[in-house]
Structure 1
Amino acid sequence: MDIRDLQIFLAVANEGSITKAAEKMEYVQSSISIRIQQLEKELKTALFRRGRQGVRLTTSGETLKSYAEKIVFLTQEAERVVADNTIPRGPLRIGSPETTAAIRLPSILTDYHKSYPEVDLALKTGTTEELIHLVLKYELDGAFVAAPVQHPELDIIEVGVEELALISGGQFPSIDQPEQLGNLTLLVFRAGCSYRQKLEDWLRLKGIIPAKIMEFGTLEGILGCIHAGLGISLLPRSVIERAMVQYNLRSHKISDKSYITPILFIRRKDTYETAATSEFIRISKQRFHLT
């Protein structure tokens, strides 16, 4: 069992398909199938259940996956640590919510790339819940998330704060009482978004049930529908102010202190902090305080 076999195994497990794994790794499908069969023969157990819809991990496969993720990550980390000579270089995989990626990240990434062009940055967006999962699974080196976050395996660093505000289309009247929200549609990201959770928790505390909740996959989708008068959302004020240039929007300030939300950078405690990572954190803190 070598490291390449484990990488192939993980690709098939994550894609749920030998065909998709072959495409992702730029292998021929038959080669992937043979390597998986050889691995199963070596381990004397079936790792996948084959079906028309693809493949699913067996119990043995699930067990191997947890070890394979650690082994592959530690191998990659060992290469980074040995090569790390205090000059940031190599791959750096960062996660971010859509809102942070749209407003904060452009200046951070620009500054970082100018200073350290040898770093190969990759960005993945998702909800806070999704990003925490990806960091814990060693699939991201670090990620921006909104507070609160608590996990014994995570190193949590506050890099800045965001003020949150209710946002509606410009045609909406001023929202002065929470009761006014009961007849409106909430436009939110999918479950796992911390801003969505804060809005739903606040309404629940006020005893308000929204008329409808609509989920979106992108920030632009939410802003466009708010502009059209479809409903309301809770977003960082920095996003709202930038979006007002393009959209007809109206913000409604919430006075609760809980809506001044820390923005955190999370990474696994058991991973080596490379020069690339530490410099990314430093520049992120600097840019958050400048904007």
Structure 2
Amino acid sequence: MDTTSLKVFLTVAKAGNISKAAKELNFVQSNVTARIKQLESDLGTQLFYRHSKGVTPSQAGKTLIDYANRILHLLDETKKAVQDSPFPRGSVSIGSMETTAAVRLPPALAKYHKQFPEVNLSLKTGPTEQLVEAVLQYELDGAFVAGPIEHPELTQQPILKEDLVLVTDPLNENGIDNVREMLRKPILVFRQGCSYRSRLEAWLRLEGLLPVQVMEFGSLEAILGCVMSGFGITLLPRSVVKDLQSSNSLSCYPLPNDFGKVTTIFIHRNDLFITSALKKFIEMVKASDTVKLKEGTTG
């Protein structure tokens, strides 16, 4: 059992199909099949159930997925620890909510790249739920998500506080007192797993309000464009829309504190080796004027 075989196994388990895994790995299909059979022989158990649509991990296969991820992660962490140096270098993979990436991170990212050009820093955006899972599965070193996140395998630290506001077009003059009138328009949200969407839905349920229509979007720009055109309403951090509000392109209405206050946190696995590159990045983000956490501020 070697690391290549474990990587092949994990790719097959994720793809659910040997031919798809072979294409992803740039292997011939027979090589992938041979690797899986050898693993099954070494471990003395069946790792996959074969069927017409592909393969499904057996119970033993599901167990191996967890251990294989941990083994490969430990090897990667060992390499990072041995190669780490006081001056940041290497690779850092970060996840972030769309709104944080659009408004809060750009200044820090630009400064970090200029100061530490030897670091290959990658950024992946997505909803909180998806980012948490990616961190747990060792796909990301860490991520900026909406807190709190309670998980025994994760460490979290607060980064900034945000005020969430209901956002509508500038022609709307009804205000939050007539939210039923505003709900005649579609609710525009990110896909499932977005913490802001969950808060909006929870608040609407508490108020006994039912939106006419809920529409999912893949980008912040698309949501803002539709809101400004008068097509719908959404819930976003005030920091994201404050400039548009100042220019009378949007109107904003606060929510009650139980739903309208949220802290953005940075999460990483407890067993993550914090390289100098990652440590400096976190320090730089926290020191940025756009993300400083101040008690009682409104983001």
TM-score, length-scaled by structure 2: 0.89
Q: Deviations over 1:104-152 (max 9, x none)?
A: 2222221111121222222222211111111112221100001222222
Matched, 1:196 2:223: no
Q: Deviations over 1:195-233 (max 9, x none)?
A: 011111122222212222112222222223223322111
Instruction: Show the counterpart of 1:159.
Output: 159
Partner of 1:162, secondary structure, is strand
Instruction: Show the counterpart of 2:124.
Output: 124
* Counterpart contact for 2:174–2:181, Cα < 8 Å: no
Deviation at 1:183, TM superposition (A): 2.8
AA matched with 1:235? L
C-alpha root-mean-square deviation of aligned residues, in Å? 2.3
Cα gap change, 1:205 to 1:135, in 2 (>3 Å):
same
Instruction: Show the counterpart of 1:239.
Output: 240
Deviation at 1:273, TM superposition (A): 1.4
Instruction: Show the counterpart of 1:78.
Output: 78
Gaps of 5+ in 1: none
More moved, 74-83 vs 35-44: 35-44
How many residue pairs match? The answer is 291
Question: What is the rounded CA distance, in whole Å, between the counterparts of 2:16 and 2:242 in structure 1?
Answer: 42
Partner of 1:86, secondary structure, is coil
Q: Deviations over 1:255-275 (max 9, x none)?
A: 636523211000111222111
Instruction: Show the counterpart of 2:296.
Output: none
Question: What is the rounded CA distance, in whole Å, between the counterparts of 1:282 and 1:185 in structure 2?
Answer: 40
Question: What is the rounded CA distance, in whole Å, between the counterparts of 2:35 and 2:245 in structure 1?
Answer: 54
Instruction: Show the counterpart of 2:55.
Output: 55
Question: What is the rounded CA distance, in whole Å, between the counterparts of 1:134 and 1:162 in structure 2?
Answer: 24
AA matched with 2:229? A
* Counterpart contact for 1:108–1:283, Cα < 8 Å: yes
Partner of 2:95, secondary structure, is strand
Cα gap change, 1:246 to 1:123, in 2 (>3 Å):
farther
Deviation at 1:245, TM superposition (A): 9.7
Instruction: Show the counterpart of 1:259.
Output: 260
Partner of 1:183, secondary structure, is coil
* Counterpart contact for 2:286–2:292, Cα < 8 Å: yes
* Counterpart contact for 2:127–2:193, Cα < 8 Å: yes
Matches within 5 A, 1:138-287: 138-177=138-177, 178-241=179-242, 248-254=249-255, 256=257, 258-287=259-288
Cα gap change, 1:105 to 1:23, in 2 (>3 Å):
farther
More moved, 236-245 vs 256-265: 236-245
Cα gap change, 1:73 to 1:175, in 2 (>3 Å):
same
AA matched with 1:168? T
Question: What is the rounded CA distance, in whole Å, between the counterparts of 1:173 and 1:279 in structure 2?
Answer: 46
Question: What is the rounded CA distance, in whole Å, between the counterparts of 1:256 and 1:124 in structure 2?
Answer: 30
Q: Deviations over 1:46-83 (max 9, x none)?
A: 22233443322121111100100100000000000111
Partner of 1:215, secondary structure, is strand
* Counterpart contact for 2:190–2:219, Cα < 8 Å: yes
AA matched with 1:273? I
Deviation at 1:170, TM superposition (A): 2.8
More moved, 14-23 vs 69-78: 14-23
Deviation at 1:247, TM superposition (A): 10
Partner of 2:283, secondary structure, is helix
Question: What is the rounded CA distance, in whole Å, between the counterparts of 1:20 and 1:282 in structure 2?
Answer: 41
Question: What is the rounded CA distance, in whole Å, between the counterparts of 2:71 and 2:155 in structure 1?
Answer: 21
Gaps of 5+ in 2: 294-298
